[in-house]
Amino acid sequence: MQVTETKSEGLSREFKVALPANEIEEKISHRLKELARTAQMPGFRPGKVPVAVLRKKYGPSVLGEVLERAVNDSSQQALAEKGLRPAMQPRVEITSFEDGGDLEYTIAVELLPEIKPFDFSQIKLERLIPKTDEAAMEKVLADIAAAHGDSAPIKDDRETRTGDVLMIDFVGRVGGEEFAGGKAEGYELTLGSGTFIPGFEEQLIGVKAGGKVEVKVKFPESYGAAGLSGKDAVFDVTVNELKETVPSAIDDELAKKVGMENLEVLKSSIREEQEREFNGMSRMILKRALLDELSAAHDFEIPEKLLDREFETIWNQFAERRKKSEDADAGDEGKTDEEHQKEFKEIAERRVRLGLLLSEVGRANNVQISKEDVNSQLMAEARRHPGREKEVMEHYKNNPEAIEQLSAPMYEEKVVDFILEQASITEKTATMDELIKVMENEAAGKPKAKAKPGGKSKAKGKAAAEKKAGEKPARKTAKKGP
């Protein structure tokens, strides 16, 4: 095999590879001998078909198979011998081959950059830890009590408002004619529940008991009954009685209604859930701050094709969301596609750079995820699809790429933990409201990491855009091992 480098620009390399005809013929003969051991043809005993006969019958298909394997094996060998690490699958193009002749082809490949992580002990971060918040506890208990309350007649002579329970009679007409299902007596309707079609409940606000209202609405185009879809309708509604929901007493009986032994057990469960939620949000804030620090401290060339692929993913997701949403996202008004593309290109660059950095840190430090970790995550994924657990397990079992996508976030978190163990982290107590405020400030782009000496900051106030695009490293570049 002869390998000649024809291009070396940045991370791009191109090679011309030549395999002599005798090597190709040797591989073909070897493959035909393998087939001869099991081949069956009329007039010959199994395994006794002459190689010459097999060459005549299967020669073209064997040649194709051998060429594909020869190109794959030799291209990998060529890159390995030169100590090159491809960022993506190399592009191979056969330039010359005739049966019985030499095989010549070209390899075009983008390489992974040389990455030198800085001293992670220089990183200084702050971790928010939960502070006892009885007010939040009381609010949750109040919400549970309201959800399990009873309705009682309103004695005051007042007008209806959102949250009230109305006992109503109604008759609906389209084009002056009553329609099936458009009439009821003694119907209990909670204002604000969204039970009826849009616009119906709002017109019953500000009415007293005994009042009569003509409600004018239009059935949605997507309404289930074809004869009513998109039609204007008028409902004659009589409000017979007003009720309000009276919250249940916050006691052991309420706890039993939600499946808890007593009130103390309910409170303990709420605290655990609040702490779990808090810690999850705190982890997000800490990780985001770490990623800002890493992005600011590292500047290296990234493969163009990785960047293009990540940008295309972000842009397609954005375009799909924009197509589905009738309202523009906050901050989108007045922006052109060119401005969006410029913004997302910067986000894609940050993602790819962080993904490559985390991958290199993991590789250099032998960060691994165990089979038990993957199985645990797989079981959790299956449980998220009740009744389809077996189908989900089979999907992952037969799809290596799906397993890779499942395990990549786990690997990423392990690498992040490895870096955090070396960083200097102080702790600060905070309530849930304070935690949410921090997240809102971050979404507005207020706090930003400062560039380290010798580094180039990539945090350019794009927090809101990153949230819209989905802030994360490009996980497909953060693989396990070499």
- The DSSP output letter for 203 is G
Q: Which residues contact 146 (CB under 8 A, 6 or more apart)?
A: 245, 247
C-alpha 340/C-alpha 362 separation (Å) is 33
Q: Which two tokens stand for residue 95?
A: 């330039």
CATH code of 188's domain: 3.10.50.40
Last residue of a domain, one of 246, 279, 310: 246
Both 208 and 90 in one domain: the answer is: no
User: Which one, of 184, 182, 168, 169, lies nearest residue 228 by Cα?
Assistant: 182
Confidence of residue 278 (pLDDT cuts 50, 70, 90): very high
- In this structure, the answer to whether residues 85 and 49 fall within a common structural domain is yes
- In this predicted structure, the answer to whether residue 328 has a pLDDT above a threshold of 80 is no
Q: Which domain holds residue 240?
A: 150-246
Confidence class for position 475, pLDDT limits 50, 70, 90:
low
Assess whether 305 and 400 both reside in one domain.
yes
Structural domain includes residue 455: yes
Work out the percent of the chain whose per-residue pLDDT is above 70.
90
Looking at the structure, do residues 25 and 128 belong to the same domain, yes or no?
A: no
| Domain identity same for 202 and 269 | no
Cβ-based burial of 326 (10 A; exposed 0-12, middle 13-18, buried ≥19)? exposed
- Please check whether residue 359 lies inside any domain of the structure: yes
We report the CATH number of the domain holding residue 49 as: 3.30.70.1050
| Burial of 256: CB neighbours in 10 Å, binned 0-12, 13-18, 19+ | middle
Q: Which helix (H) or strand (E) holds 58?
A: helix 51-81
* Same domain membership, residue 422 and residue 292: yes
Please identify, among 246, 277, 297, the residue that sits at the C-terminal boundary of a domain.
246
- Three-state SS annotation for 280-337: HHHHHHHHHHHHHHHHHHCCCCCCHHHHHHHHHHHHHHHHHHHHHCCCCCCCCCCCCH
Show which of 202, 220, 246 is a domain's final residue. Answer: 246
CATH classification at residue 395: 1.10.3120.10
Number of domains the chain contains: 3
Q: Is 474 in contact with 355 (CB distance < 8 Å)?
A: yes
Using DSSP's 3-state secondary structure scheme, residue 178 falls into strand
Domain contains 257: no
Q: Mark whether 211 and 270 lie in a shared domain.
A: no
Same domain, 306 and 196: no
Lowest model confidence (mean pLDDT) among 7-11, 47-51, 349-353, 377-381: 47-51
pLDDT tops 50 at residue 478: no
Tell which residue, 229, 231, 201, has the closest CA to residue 215: 201
Quick check: is 450 in a domain? yes
Residues 179 and 306 in one domain: no
| The pLDDT value given to residue 404 | 87
